Structure 1
Amino acid sequence: MKTIKLLSLFSGIGAFEKALSNINQDHEIINYCEIDKYASYAYSVLHNANESLNLGDVSKINPDTLKDFDLLTHGSPCQSFSLAGKGEGGDEGSGTKSSLMWYTVDIIKKKLPKYIIWENVKAVTCKRHKHNFSKYIDTLNKLGYNSYWNILNSKDYGSPQSRERMFCISIRKDIDACLFKFPKPMDSIVPINTILDEYVDKKYYCINKYTREFINKVDRKVVDNKEPNKYGLLRIGKIENPTALNMNKRVFSSQGACPTILTGSHSVPKIMEYKLRRLTPCESWKATGFTEEDYNLVKTKLTNKFYKGVDRTDTQMYKMAGNSIVVPVLETILKELFKA
Structure 2
Amino acid sequence: MLKVIESFAGIGSQSQALENLGIDFDIVATLEWEIGAIFAYDILHNGPQDLSPYRFHNRESLIEKLREYSLSNDGKEPITDRALSSMSVQHLKAVLCAIERNNNLVDITKVHGEQLPDADVLTYSFPCQDLSISGHWHHNSGGIDRDANNRSTLLWEVERLLKEYVEVEKDLPSFLLMENVSNILSSKHIGNFREWQNFLEGLGYVNQVYTLDARNFNVPQSRVRTYMISVLAHDSMNAKAITQYFEDNNLEEVKVDFSSLRPMSDYLRLDYSNPVYRNEAIQSTPIFTPSRQKIYEQNPILAIGSRAKSGIWARTVTTKQDRNPNSGIVAYGDEKLTDVNHNYRNLTARECFLLMGFDEDKYDRMMESNFKVRSNRNMLNQAKLIQLAGNSIVVQVLEQIFAQISEIKDKYLTESSKVTFVTTHEIQVSAT
Q: TM-score, normalization: structure 1?
A: 0.83
Residue number among 180, 189, 195 corresponding to 2:267 in the alignment: 195
Distance 1:17 1:39 in 2: 14
Match of 1:54 among 104, 114, 126: 104
CA contact (8 A) 2:142 2:148 kept: no
1:269 maps to which of 305, 315, 327: 327
Q: Does 1:163 align with 2:163?
A: no
Task: Give me the CA root mean square deviation.
Answer: 2.3
TM-score normalised to structure 2 length? 0.66
> How many Å separate the matches in 2 of 1:21 and 1:79?
29
Aligned pair partner of 1:328 in 392, 396, 401: 396
AA of the residue aligned to 1:108: L
Change (3 A) 1:113 1:209: closer
Paired position in structure 1 for 2:131: 81
Change (3 A) 1:31 1:126: same
Counterpart-to-counterpart distance in 2, 1:56 and 1:279: 30
| Percent of aligned pairs sharing the same letter | 29
**Alpha-carbon distance between aligned partners in 1 of 2:288 and 2:149, rounded to the nearest angstrom:** 42
Question: Which residue of structure 1 lines up, in the alignment, with residue 411 of structure 2?
Answer: none
In 2, the alpha carbon distance for the partners of 1:307 and 1:19 equals 34
Matching residue of 1:137: 197
Counterpart of 1:189 in structure 2: which amino acid?
L
Which residue matches 1:227? none
Alignment of 1:26-37 (within 5 A): 26-37=24-35
Which structure 1 residue ranges, 5 or more long, are not aligned?
Answer: 215-237, 241-248
**In the alignment, which of 147, 169, 182 is matched to residue 250 of structure 2?**
182
Structure 1 position 207, deviation (Å): 5.9
Is 2:301–2:331's contact at 8 Å kept on the other side of the alignment?
no
Equivalent residue in structure 2 for 1:117, among 177, 190, 215: 177
Is this contact kept in 1: 2:214–2:224, CA < 8 A? yes
Q: SS where residue 6 of structure 2 aligns?
A: strand
SS at match of 2:363: helix
- How far the C-alpha of 1:30 sits from its partner, in A, is 1.3
Residue 143 of structure 1: how far off its partner (Å): 0.5
**Residue identity in the other structure for 2:256:** M
Task: Read off the aligned partner of 1:339 and give its amino acid letter.
Answer: E
Give the superposition deviation at 1:160. 2.0
Give the corresponding residue for 2:352. Answer: 284
Q: 1:209 to 1:136 in 2, by over 3 A?
A: closer
Offset, 1:18: 0.3
- Once the two structures are TM-superposed, the CA of residue 309 in structure 1 deviates from its matched residue by 8.9
Matched with 1:224 is none
Q: Quote the Cα distance in structure 2 between the aligned partners of 1:26 and 1:169.
A: 20
Instruction: Report the alpha carbon displacement of residue 330 of structure 1 after superposing the two structures with TM.
Output: 0.3
Query: Relative to 1, partners in 2 of residues 1:271 and 1:193: Cα closer, same or farther, differing over 3 Å?
Result: farther
How much has 1:99 moved relative to structure 2? 0.4
Counterpart residue number, 2:17 = 19
Residues matched between the structures, number? 306
1:106 Cα deviation (Å)?
2.1
Give the equivalent residue in structure 2 for 1:99: 153
**Alignment check: 8 A CA contact 1:16 1:330 kept:** yes
The letter of the residue matching 1:258 is A
CA distance in 2, matches of 1:204, 1:11: 27
Query: 2:315·2:328 contact (CA, 8 Å) conserved in 1?
Result: no
More divergent stretch after superposition (186-195 vs 201-210): 201-210
Closer/same/farther in 2, CA of residues 250 and 4 from structure 1, 3 Å limit: same
1:250 is matched with which residue: 299, 309, 329?
299
Of structures 1 and 2, the larger Rg is shown by 2
Contact residue 330 and residue 347 of structure 2 kept, 8 A: no
CA contact (8 A) 1:79 1:87 kept: no
Kindly state the Cα deviation for residue 107 of structure 1 after the two structures are TM-superposed: 2.1
Alpha-carbon offset, residue 122 of structure 1: 0.3
Q: CA deviation at 1:210?
A: 4.9
Q: Which letter does structure 2 place at the counterpart of 1:101?
A: L
| One of 273, 278, 285 as aligned partner of 1:205 | 285
> Which amino acid in the other structure matches residue 296 of structure 1?
D
8 Å CA contact 2:123–2:177 kept in 1: the answer is yes
Q: Whole-Å Cα distance in 2 between the matches of residues 127 and 58 of structure 1?
A: 28
Counterpart CA distance in 1 for 2:34 and 2:283 is 27
SS in 1 for 2:162: helix
Task: Give the match for residue 4 of structure 2.
Answer: 6
Supply the AA of the counterpart residue of 1:7. Answer: I
Distance 1:274 1:50 in 2: 39
- Cα deviation 1:69-112 (Å, max 9, x = unaligned): 10011111101110011222111243111000111122233151
Taking the aligned partners of 1:302 and 1:272, their CA distance within structure 2 comes to 26
Per-residue CA shift, 1:262-310, capped at 9, x if unaligned? 1124245342445322111100100100011121222222325x34696
